[in-house]
Amino acid sequence: MSTIRLLVGLGNPGPEYSQTRHNAGFWLVEQYARMYGQTLQPETKFFGNTARIQKGAMDLRVLQPMQFMNRSGNAVATLANFYKIQPDEILVAYDELDLPPGVAKFKTGGGSGGHNGIKDIAARLGTPDFHRLRIGIGHPGDKSKVTGWVLGKAPQTDQVLMDDTITEACRSIDILLQQDMRAAQQHLHSFKAQREN
């Protein structure tokens, strides 16, 4: 059984960002909490919205940092320190430019890929060795267009793909918690394979 104790979803706070691609991590944790009948509630001491999911042996904290993306690490480190959660017990979900809409992948450690939220979390935790769930949002094809892209709203076709992927990724998190990373990765991979057929 995997020992993930903290699930973090990255995004930017505020209604003007709620529908933007950069908030894919927010969408995932909101949906995951909903699957267990939970709603994320403001928790000022952790600089974000939190929920707790308990089922059988699972005791999972869910966090949406409510500071801007490049300061996400503050909330993550504060909550992790408070509950004595180690970096390798943390899973962070976020938007990934290098994956197309409709694809999500697990990854452990490594670089930030230029993602400011991941960069800040690694800096605050003092290590990049936490688990990640990358949700594909696609790339605009030109570096100069990236900011407008991530802070823009996806067209309906892409949004449907992202929503389906997030639903499947939530199921994969369950598999990760009940089994292990390999089983979760296989589930996500087979979902992608099914859709391409």
Integer CA distances (angstroms), 184 to 29, 30, 150, 179, in order: 17, 19, 27, 8
Burial 154-175 (b: 16+ CB within 10 A, else e): beeebeebbbebbebbbebbbb
Residues annotated as catalytic are 22
Please give the Cα distance from 150 to 153 (Å, whole number): 8
| Dist CA 2 CA 145 (whole Å) | 38
- pLDDT at position 48 over 90: yes
68 marked among binding-site residues: yes
- Helix, strand, coil shares of the chain as percentages rounded to 5? 50, 20, 30
Rounded distance, CA 179 to CA 111, Å? 26
User: Token digits for 85?
Assistant: 């959660």
The pLDDT, as a whole number, for residue 77 is 98
Considering only residues 139 and 55, tell me which one the structure prediction assigns the higher pLDDT: 139
Give residue-wise pLDDT tens across range 130-172.
999 999 999 999 999 999 999 999 999 999 999 999 999 999 9
Determine if residue 17 is labeled as part of a ligand binding site: yes
Q: Does residue 72 surpass a pLDDT of 90?
A: yes
In a 10 Å sphere around its CB, with 0-12 CB exposed, 13-18 middle and 19+ buried, how is residue 58 labelled?
Answer: middle
Comparison of pLDDT for 134 and 191, the residue scoring more: 134
Cβ pair 171, 36 in contact under 8 A: no
Give me the domains of the chain, ranges plus CATH numbers.
Answer: 6-196 (3.40.50.1470)
Please give the mean pLDDT across all residues of the chain: 94
* Cα separations in angstroms, 71 against 8, 74, 117: 13, 6, 7
